[in-house]
Amino acid sequence: MTALLEASGVSKHFGGLYALNGLDLHVNEHEIVSVIGPNGAGKSTVFNVITGLYTPDGGEVAFRGGSLLGRLPSQVTKLGIARTFQNVKLFPNMTVLENAMVGQHCRTKTGVVGALLRTPSARREEAVIRERAADALGFFGSRLAGYRQDQLASVLSYANRRRLEMARAMATEPVLLLLDEPTAGMNPRETLELRDHIVRMRDERGITILLIEHDMRVVKGVSDRVVALDYGQKIAEGSYEYVAHDPRVIEAYLGTKATG
């Protein structure tokens, strides 16, 4: 069986700095894979390469057997890969619902003529967009429901911004969802709640998930597989237990033991 996402030998350097150095990474369908590693290990760069924001200097990235290289971010999203950003990036002056409706953009096709004439098909599509966006928001229960859908995204609490960003990504109807530190800045209770959401996203909606995460309780709770990066290379891969006890991972996080 071929993997849903297959990155092989991916390199990306900025000047003399290798953010990624011959990285191999694969994600199987219906899997939840966590990427861990210390700051600067190249985790976010992986996401940016996959989604087309960066062009890799070497290697290959394939999604469902087709290459992603040279595709624009919008095209990658249309193929079924959605993402969130490490530092939450919403459309702050649009309402919560509109943010999610933007996610539906790549699944709909009303053009200028439809919009100007308000054709029946355009109206129907607009209703569908609204419905699906509300559905994506509804995934987070009462958090993003009700009056809140008409609020500007900029007035949301921090945790809700993260949730909205995930809802917006879900509204693109992705096959693979890339979550960049989804629990960063959340309090313990919210973190636990989000952990359940991630698992539910896979179980209920069938979305494959690749996430970058620092909170080891979350990594432990959700991951089918964990990949540890350091200096742009994979240093360990396997179950949480395996990776967590790998001496190279411990070294990457804590440094080497003083010898002698």
Partner 1 sequence: MRSVVVRGAVRAGAVAGITVWYLALVGIIERLADLAIIGGFLTMDQLLIFLPAALAGWVALRPRVIGGERLTPDSKTAIVGGLTTGLASAAVVVAGVVIVNLIGVESVRRVFSSLSPALMDELYLGLAPVAGTIVLGLCMVVVAAAAAALRRLPANVRQPIVAGLAGVVAVALLERVAAPAFDQTGIEKDWLYNKRLGGLEWVGAVVVFVVVALTVRFELGRRLRDILLPDRAADKGALAVSAQPATVAAAEMDATTQAEPPSAPEREDHPLEPRVSARSLQIVAWLVIAGLLAVLPYLVGPVVARILGSVGIFLLLGLGLNIVVGYAGLLDLGYVAFFAVGAYFTAILTGGQRVTFAGFRPPVIGADLNFFVALPIVVLIAAVIGMLIGAPVLRLRGDYLAIVTLGFGEIARVIFGSTWAEELFGGALGMSEITSAPIPGTTFDFQSDPRHFYYLVLAFCLLAIVVSWRLQASRIGRAWNAMREDEQVADAMGISTTRYKLLAFAMGGAIGSIGGALFAVSLGSLTIASFKILVSITALAIIILGGLGSIPGVIVGALVLIGLPGLLTQFEDYRLLIYGATLIAVMILRPQGLVPNIRRSRELQEDERSQDQWAKHLLEADATDAPQPSGGAIT
CB of 240 to partner 1, least distance (A): 25
Applying CB under 8 A, does 143 fall inside the site for partner 1?
yes
CB of 259 to partner 1, least distance (A): 45
Applying CB under 8 A, does 95 fall inside the site for partner 1?
yes
Cβ atoms of 43 and 49 within 8 Å: the answer is: no
Among 3, 62, 102, 175, binds partner 1 (CB under 8 A): 102
Residues 170, 172, 174, 177, CA torsion sign: negative
Structure tokens at 185: 């800045």
Among 122, 222, 228, 243, binds partner 1 (CB under 8 A): 122
Cβ atoms of 237 and 228 within 8 Å: the answer is: yes
φ/ψ (deg, to 5) at 170: -65, -30
Residues 72, 77, 80, 84, CA torsion sign: positive
Cβ atoms of 10 and 58 within 8 Å: the answer is: yes
Taking CB under 8 A as the criterion, which residues in 43-62 touch partner 1?
51, 53
Structure tokens at 246: 């790998």
The residue among 21 and 208 lying less far from partner 1, judged by its C-beta, is 208
Which residues here bind partner 1, judged by CB under 8 A? 51, 53, 72-75, 77-78, 82-83, 85, 89-95, 97-98, 101-103, 105-108, 110-112, 114-116, 118, 122, 125-126, 129-130, 134, 142-143, 145-152, 155, 157-160, 168-169, 172, 186-187, 189-190, 193
